[in-house]
Chains A and B, each alone.
Chain A
Amino acid sequence: MDTTDLELLRQVTRGDEHAFEQLYARHARALLAYAEGLLGERGPAEEALQETFIAVWRGAGAFEERSLVRTWLFGICRRQALKRMRGHLPASRPLDDALDLPSPEPGPQAVTLARADTAAVAAALRTLAPLHREVLDLAFAAEMSHAEIAQVLGVPAGTVKSRLFNARAALARALPVEIEEAGR
């Protein structure tokens, strides 16, 4: 890998437009996909992407190196996307996150999903609540660690874990019934 994100960001702090463009080229697509997943629409997602990078240009100096540059970018993008969200992101319900801790034993939902058709899973994904979809996006599309996701969402790492399992459970429930029954 040539220049790291951190080096690029430091150059951006000094007003280097070329470094800024490189940073954009590296992350814009993933950020846009994330924003579109949250908002469900292209237009507002593009706006969020644009505002994210304008904020990066203006606030590069405020990056405190306490997280990865990528985590920081996703955090900014998330705030910009939430501003554009119709209604609200259903408030994370701490009780749900706390109660549905993943059981240490494999569950029946896993079997349902494991046997499901990929196209059916993709269709079920579209019905998921934004709260669940975004945690899956961060884990499997952006391929972030749980610690990174926790920083982006501003929640404890344990919550990320339970939210992931909740998201999978919701996904399994959204699958067509006959597949679920076939799985049992």
Chain B
Amino acid sequence: MNHPTELLPDYAAGVLPDPAAVDAHVRACAECAAEAESWRKVRSAVAGRAAAVAAPAPSIFAAIRERIGAAEPRVRVRTHPVPRYAGEVGRRPWRRALGLLTRQWTLVRWPVWALAVAALVVGGVVAARVSSAGLAPQVLATVIPLAAALAVAGACGTDREPVGELVAATPTSPRVVLLARLTLVLGVIGSLSLLVTLALVPLEPVAGLLGLAAAWFGPLVPLSALSFTLSVLWRPSVGVGAAMALWLLRLLAMTGAIDRALAAVVERLCTPGAGVLTGAAVLVAVAVLLSPRLPHGRAHRIGF
């Protein structure tokens, strides 16, 4: 005999859509009658336990109402394109900062480092060779800021690096990552430049260490800030282009090939001072603040 065993739980629960056939079978088959009876026992025990559960207290719905009233989810839904990064800094902030910087070191692509170091070495050698003519400060002022601006654009400007997705998925804020990268690049280039400068001091006793350092640090600040801001907010080629334009203007101003008024403005921009430093800091801060909110790729899509 073909027993409707599988239908019997629903039959006992009374939810079978068409119980007539099963009903007839159960009446004729003692085994299935026992089966159905067993399910009925299970059902009454289960339903009995559920019925014994006290109804929810009114305070529960009151609590729910209070919470949805307090939250007002539908009204105040705000899209946060930038997730909040509220991770704890932890017990060893310096260690963490160091870890962040060393990791950026491996993430910045090697040609950036190679080109920057090569430019500094070549610049140092050329400066040493022309130091007898007193031109070392000019050479350093030309080479080092340009190397820094290019490296900043290469290291900070692109979100299309192979590990970009991975970096974006880490619990570290993208702003912190960007700042760490800028710090690392400028830190490395600044340190190397200082080494080159120190090596040149004996050859350039007139300008001295301070004079030599000021010569390249002055233009480095606006060039790097410009390159960083435009690379982050727009794209690296724009940052590099703007920095090179300023660099070229400075070069022309030094050789006296352009209008004197314009040359004076460029010269002031390239002289270290409170105004220039503040302006550069503001530019960098704006770029860092805006960077995670930028719809990455939009500029590329519309053809820039």
Interface residues of A (CB under 8 A from B): 15, 17, 20-21, 24, 28-30, 32-34, 36-37, 46, 49-50, 53-54, 57-58, 102-107, 109-114, 116, 118, 121-122, 124-125, 136-137, 139-146, 161, 164, 168, 171-172
Q: Which chain B residue lies CB-closest to A45? A: B53
> Which residues of the partner chain A approach B83 to less than 8 Å between Cβ atoms?
none
> Which residues of the partner chain B approach A172 to less than 8 Å between Cβ atoms?
38
Give the A-B contact count at a CB cut-off of 8 A. 130
> Which residues of the partner chain A approach B13 to less than 8 Å between Cβ atoms?
139-140, 143
> Which residues of the partner chain A approach B6 to less than 8 Å between Cβ atoms?
102, 104, 161
Counting chain B CB atoms within 10 Å of each CB, the highest count among A53, A112, A124 belongs to A53
Distance in angstroms from B159 CB to nearest chain A CB is 31
> Which residues of the partner chain A approach B48 to less than 8 Å between Cβ atoms?
118, 122
> Which residues of the partner chain B approach A168 to less than 8 Å between Cβ atoms?
38-39, 42
- Given A106-B32, A137-B50, are A50 and B60 neighbors across the interface (CB < 8 Å)? yes
Q: What are the interface flags for B45-56 relative to A under an 8 Å C-beta threshold, 1 for contact and 0 otherwise?
A: 111111101011
B46–A140 touching, CB < 8 Å: yes
Pick from B9, B34, B49, B55: contact of A122, CB below 8 A.
Answer: B49
Distance in angstroms from A47 CB to nearest chain B CB is 9
Chain B: how many interface residues by the 8 Å CB criterion?
41
- Given A116-B41, A125-B45, A168-B42, are A21 and B61 neighbors across the interface (CB < 8 Å)? yes
Distance in angstroms from B236 CB to nearest chain A CB is 41
- Given A104-B2, A168-B42, are A32 and B9 neighbors across the interface (CB < 8 Å)? no
Pick from B2, B38, B63: contact of A111, CB below 8 A.
Answer: B38
A46–B56 touching, CB < 8 Å: yes
- List CB contacts (< 8 Å) of B43-77 with chain A: 43-51, 53, 55-57, 60-61, 63-65, 67-68, 71, 73-74
> Which residues of the partner chain A approach B267 to less than 8 Å between Cβ atoms?
none
Q: In whole angstroms, how far apart are the Cα atoms of A53 and B64 in the complex? A: 7
> Which residues of the partner chain A approach B53 to less than 8 Å between Cβ atoms?
29, 32-33, 36-37
Known pairs A58-B74, A109-B38, A114-B38 / 6 extra A-B pairs, C-beta < 8 Å: A50-B60, A53-B61, A102-B5, A114-B34, A118-B48, A164-B9
B46–A143 touching, CB < 8 Å: no
> Which residues of the partner chain A approach B67 to less than 8 Å between Cβ atoms?
50, 54
Counting chain B CB atoms within 10 Å of each CB, the highest count among A15, A102, A114 belongs to A114
Q: In whole angstroms, how far apart are the Cα atoms of A53 and B69 in the complex? A: 13
- Given A29-B56, A110-B35, A136-B42, are A141 and B9 neighbors across the interface (CB < 8 Å)? no
Indicate if B23 sits at the interface (CB-CB under 8 A). Answer: no
Pick from A103, A118, A146: contact of B41, CB below 8 A.
Answer: A118
Distance in angstroms from B5 CB to nearest chain A CB is 5
Main secondary structure on chain B at its contact with chain A?
helix
Distance in angstroms from A126 CB to nearest chain B CB is 8
What are 12 inter-chain pairs, A to B, with CB distance below 8 A? A37-B49, A58-B73, A104-B2, A104-B5, A105-B31, A113-B38, A118-B44, A122-B49, A124-B45, A125-B46, A137-B46, A141-B47
Q: In whole angstroms, how far apart are the Cα atoms of A28 and B73 in the complex? A: 22
Indicate if B3 sits at the interface (CB-CB under 8 A). Answer: yes
Q: In whole angstroms, how far apart are the Cα atoms of A20 and B67 in the complex? A: 14
Indicate if B169 sits at the interface (CB-CB under 8 A). Answer: no
Pick from B9, B31, B35, B64: contact of A50, CB below 8 A.
Answer: B64
Indicate if B10 sits at the interface (CB-CB under 8 A). Answer: yes
Distance in angstroms from B260 CB to nearest chain A CB is 67
> Which residues of the partner chain A approach B39 to less than 8 Å between Cβ atoms?
168
- List CB contacts (< 8 Å) of B237-265 with chain A: none
Q: In whole angstroms, how far apart are the Cα atoms of A168 and B32 in the complex? A: 15
> Which residues of the partner chain B approach A103 to less than 8 Å between Cβ atoms?
5
Q: In whole angstroms, how far apart are the Cα atoms of A125 and B42 in the complex? A: 9
Q: In whole angstroms, how far apart are the Cα atoms of A28 and B37 in the complex? A: 30
> Which residues of the partner chain A approach B57 to less than 8 Å between Cβ atoms?
46
Indicate if B302 sits at the interface (CB-CB under 8 A). Answer: no
A106–B41 touching, CB < 8 Å: no
